[in-house]
Amino acid sequence: MKSFFIGKYEIKLPIIQGGMGVGVSLNKLASAVANEGGVGVISAAGLGLLYPQFKGNYLEKCIYGLSEELRKAREKTYGVIGVNIMVALSNFSDMVRTAIAEKADVIFAGAGLPLNLPSFLTKDSKTMLVPIVSSARAAKLICEKWLTNYNYLPDALVVEGPKAGGHLGFKKEQIEDENYSLEHLIPEVVEIAKSYAEQKNIPVIAAGGISTGKDIARFLKLGASAAQMGSIFVPTEECDASTEFKEVYIHSDKKDVRIIQSPVGMPGRAFDGEFIRDVAEGKKKPKSCPFHCIKTCDYTKSPYCIIKALYNAAIGNLKEGYAFAGQNAYLANKISSVKEVIAKLKADLLAFG
């Protein structure tokens, strides 16, 4: 099985565990994936809700929470640990600075264009920078901006297609359009990466709806160096979410996966449920906003508070929240260990590679 590099870090297993907030992918899941040779990823979204004991406001608790999660992950693994930080977070800058100061191996930045991400690097920084894009155009723009303004190119590019879970970087009408499929996007972004080959090797990572080793093999043949997978790691013993949250994945069918409109202003993919139906009927209205977590969210116009909804779901209160999920998340039928999941992926990848 061919390894690849994200900057100076050699990744033995071509699998990146996708960052899932709020409280779904934290130190337990990330370290378990890292121990298997892949890249484990902690989601920075909503960490302030997970550390209520820390003094300070919500945004200050987020900084403390990220430091704690990285510290706990380091106690459990010598593998590669990344942090997923959404550009749309109101405390994006502080979370990036914290990740770099705490020596996270990689920052994955999406849900917006991280055009100033290299500006946060310090002289002794060990953190690699990986944007998440949904088009070749976005990949080209980021590369040009970074090169011009910071003399830096991405250490890898994650290309997230429209079959992903959570927030999607596509218009609603593009989600089912074959012209925007991951199969179309990967070769286009690979060509962008190749155009900088004399300056830097930029591996391309396929993401969105990838659920089997056969899927991984298909995208490796299209030029990707690895695959990012999120939903497949939710129904695992090591996933940081509650058992009730994991059971949503196990007991759902294909018809339960649907596209919703997020208060963030983007479409998203989630499992249907009581909360989403209540939102559609206008029964959920935030009365105030103590968090100010997303730059683009105006609580006076939002049908609900997304950070609370995702947190509630993760701790098992599905009446007051919902589970984001990739298009193929319904395929899960039991809770396994990360080791078992990856062993199956490796066997399939070797069979179809």
Q: Which helix (H) or strand (E) holds 83?
A: strand 80-86
What number is the average pLDDT over the span 151-174? 94
Residue 116 clears pLDDT 80, i.e. is over it: yes
In 3D space, the residue among 12, 10, 9 whose CA is nearest the CA of residue 1 turns out to be 12
d(CA 51, CA 184): 41
- Cβ atoms of 305 and 293 closer than 8 Å: no
CA Rg value for the chain: 19
In this prediction, residue 295 has a pLDDT band, given cuts at 50, 70 and 90, of low
218 in Cβ contact with 203 (< 8 Å): no
Q: Taking CA 319 as the corner, what is the angle to CA 313 and CA 325, rounded to the nearest 5 degrees?
A: 40
Round to whole Å and give the CA distance between 213 and 227: 10
- For the chain, the average pLDDT equals 93
| Residue 288, pLDDT above cutoff 60 | no
Reply yes or no on whether the pLDDT at 291 is more than 70. no
Q: Predicted confidence band at 300 (pLDDT cuts at 50, 70, 90)?
A: low
The CATH code belonging to domain 4-240+332-352 is 3.20.20.70
Between the alpha carbon of residue 44 and those of residues 66, 235, 327, the distances in Å are 6, 20, 23
Number of C-beta neighbours around residue 49 at 10 A: 23
> What is the spatial distance between Cα 149 and Cα 62, in angstroms, rounded to a whole number?
29
Pairwise CA distance, residues 353 & 342, whole Å: 15
**Rounded Cα gap, residues 40 and 19, in angstroms:** 8
List the chain domain ranges.
4-240+332-352, 243-320
d(CA 174, CA 180): 6
